[in-house]
Structure 1
């Protein structure tokens, strides 16, 4: 095809040009005497992204799954009880990883389209008088279903129960895109990945551990080597790594963090909400419902949209890809063939998303889905043009200041 193929999956996301240039550098000595002058300020600025003063940032050459593994193997023992809810493919995979490491996972199964059940968590924690639960898992953003959960509500449940369990958050598709407050919410382990809100290629597990988690890592009983916190700490303290780091990605991360901090985290969050609302307006105009069952569950980084009965989302994705040159996210596991996903995180703006909506609309009509031509695009356009949303006002204010 002519032109550029457009990427609207919820990860990997688009890599901005300045980040790509930051990555495209000659190989360097990862033990050079001046490396700490680069790495130590980067560690400090990453703490700003996690909103922590006391936590410790780690960069592992891995995907977010590697970050999950690092979190549990450094802080838990075989047979430890873990409380987790399963409401999508990625919350399911995290549970599976825990079980493979011989953890005793107390699973709360939830309808796909809902998120972490705060009431059930509160009940289970209050009932656990002997404090056998050592960790509580929260997938802040379930990418498979476009569902966002309330991390602060889980912290409240822990505090109300007077429960000492550590709080673990999968923030792979949320951190650096939607509000996350490590210290304020009392998060002990937070995991993210380079290929989502950090706007990089895949390959870095970006995570943060609280002082409580770091203390637990000194006596944790699960086997680990590559992901050992203590090995990282010993070398990171002097600005180096225990093994060869992916320096090109880390150079790109420096550029990405600068972009996020220059935009301002609150502005980043406002932009993601604003862009997501436009996609939701389009889906509503098409009379297609979201997989997320209520507005309180709506994700600001990905929208999972249900097709009417009798239509296959796999056919929709193939049509969009081959005929119109756009990549949309597939339905996974329980929702395979029933939903398609539009990612709206990272380096994204209104016109980019309007092209996604236009291509999707054409592919939907090609499949015979009964929607009115231009309806979704028009609904998103009118929302984005509106002066009544806070993000537009914010942009005007910033432009005037500049």
Structure 2
């Protein structure tokens, strides 16, 4: 069996890695030219910005590539505890406690390059896929600018830029209109030399409806600091240096003072394609055999929540348990993909609806607001919340009588966050 994966990003590489366990040949086709070194590339425009590798995602990558964490650390990635994050939410600094959950802080190019080196499939760069080859309702290859590539299975992992709905429409297969939730969030990122005492992760979170500005700063390889200013509802940080600095100055966290002695290493880079988008491919009755889709090609999350890599890893593992790629089998696979991303979609899309809908995310949005108070004052609630955010525990663990009583206690209090002096530590 020959599998062809469209897209050499992390979702495509992880799918290819698992497919090598059962397929005779696995080929990954990537539009960008590739080298063996960590480099930013046009096909991953968000690659210049902070990437959160959730704890669950790190565990899954370690399962797929034993020793990867140690390899990344040897390449300069920073290893910390997930409880050491210093984050300001609307009601104060999150309670800080050791969780025993390893958290890697690194750049997207380093992570992707180390995975590509170990994927075990043939990865071919500079290939422009232009369509699908279908025969009798079955996909039997892909069309490229240079010809045709045969395949028994085609995997679309081409991300947000996927042309799959249009290609299927050309074959008379109609897909539902995607569900889109757009908070109007945009990023501006700059790299600095990392001050010696700067935290591994330091952030001010956005919060609807009154706090549309925030920042995420992470230590990455090369003793560098990646600082991503964030703005929702179109209140985007600007590209020009003075405007970018003024945006940082306007935040509640004292990040400008903390960067006073840091040397800027790059210009400011922008990214604003952050709308969450979900394609309900599982509902297509005449879905063809020999074709499946994973990653952002199916469900693209607002990158601010850091869910994409972890969900892609979970979807890749579906290939271990799924062997039938007939039309019926491929439809079953797409239903599994939809179930895999369901909880993450609910959490992130509800959070983003708070920016654009009057109901502000409904009951779930109201409940998450209660948590904003609890995780500031209560280390146990903080631990529970972080485990869910990092997809180590189910969201159902946030729903029990003990948690309800504690949340009720803290939501009656009203901690007022103060601007923390530069160099100080949270309580």
If the TM-score is normalised by the length of the shorter chain, which range does it land in? under 0.3
Greater helix fraction, Structure 1 or Structure 2:
1
> How high is the TM-score relative to the length of structure 1?
0.25
> How high is the TM-score relative to the length of structure 2?
0.24
